[in-house]
Amino acid sequence: MADAIGVLGEATTTTVGTTTVYTVPAAKAAKCKIQVKIEAHAANSTGDFLVTVNGVVTFSHLNLPTTEIMWSNSTTALHDPSTSVDPDGTTAALTCCPGPAEYYLSAGDTVTYTIGTDALVACNVQVVGTEIDV
């Protein structure tokens, strides 16, 4: 089996519930980061967004402000600009990229996200990194 580098898993589900983004295959291990870009519900400010690694909540935002856009950047797992602007790359804070935390995963470990109460307008969660044979 070959090693892999790049996007290991991606999910774009916007409905309420839990979505698996990535599960480490058997006989593999991974070192990865998480990249996120979401847009909150268009009419309600009661939705929640949580990302978990192996069942542990690694970051979350509760009661997402209506239509607010949030993303990961080089210093923050989920940047909240308190406005409905897209990242434009003009500063580090306004650049969508993998968040700063690194995760070390073994075979069977999972990365998931949960949307609570209200569906999102848009959602893209990626697990990026390297996957190796063990």
pLDDT digits (tens, 9 = 90+) for 8-61: 999 999 999 999 999 999 999 999 999 999 999 988 888 999 999 999 999 999
Kindly state whether residue 132 falls inside one of the protein's structural domains. Answer: no
**Confidence at residue 1, expressed as pLDDT on a 0 to 100 scale:** 64
Kindly state whether residue 130 falls inside one of the protein's structural domains. Answer: no
Kindly state whether residue 134 falls inside one of the protein's structural domains. Answer: no
Q: How far apart, in whole angstroms, are the C-alpha atoms of residue 107 and residue 62?
A: 30
Kindly state whether residue 49 falls inside one of the protein's structural domains. Answer: yes
Give residue 128's pLDDT band: very low, low, confident or very high (50, 70, 90): very high
- For the segment 105-127, what is each residue's pLDDT rounded down to a tens digit? 999 999 999 999 999 999 999 99
CA–CA–CA angle 9, 84, 91 (5° rounding): 70
> pTM for the whole thing?
0.95
From residue 92, alpha-carbon distances to 41, 50, 97 in Å are: 26, 23, 9
For 5, how many CA atoms within 13 A lie in the half-sphere containing its CB? 0
Domain that holds residue 88: 4-122
